[in-house]
Amino acid sequence: MKQKTRTIAILMFALALATAAATTTTSQTRVGIFDSRAIALARFHCPDIENPARDLHRRMKEAQENGDEETIAELKRLGPLHQAHLHDLVFGSGSVNAYFEELKESFAAIAAEQHLDLIVSKWETAYLSENVTLVDITPKLLEFYHPDDKVQTMLDGMNGVEPIKDALFIED
């Protein structure tokens, strides 16, 4: 009788371990994804954030008014480089990692709210197993930049549109 009870206890223990192992292997990893193009576009148009393009235009105007040929030449060199960078961010899949510091609190709050294990750009995922659940947090991140109706219309136009390959080389 003791042997039978011991065998039943061992079998129940083995069943409990198997159940725990099965539960562990089927748990989902939750990954927050965002459209980096939308972040770049909303940030560019956000009135609360310094816009480098406006700064370049302002500096060019000042240099021209002052006849500062050296600054004019430098800004003429920087302007197209800056524009190419913006093209890569807004039309391509360029990295918005430089903006992560200002979004750090938003990332943390969204990750806690959505029970996320990781947050990445949707364009930076090379492989996803079937145990990964993707959660699009783009709309939540965009709240940080307070897009107006005009910007929201542009953002809505991005939905379902893939990034342009080699957007860095778009010429105006």
Q: Report the chain's C-alpha Rg in angstroms.
A: 25
Q: What torsion do the CA atoms of 84, 90, 94, 96 make, to the nearest 10 degrees?
A: 110
Looking at residue 29, what DSSP letter applies?
E
Look-up of token digits 């807004």? 90
pLDDT of res. 32: 96
Q: Is 28-169 assigned to CATH 3.30.60? A: no
Instruction: Extract the tokens encoding 160.
Output: 């379902």
Task: Give domain limits for the chain.
Answer: 28-169
Q: Tens digit of pLDDT per residue, the chain (172 long)?
A: 555 554 444 444 445 555 555 555 567 899 999 999 999 999 999 988 888 888 888 999 999 999 999 999 999 999 889 889 899 999 999 999 888 888 888 899 999 999 999 999 999 988 989 999 999 999 999 999 999 999 999 999 999 999 998 887 887 7
Distance of CA 67 to the CA centre of its chain: 42
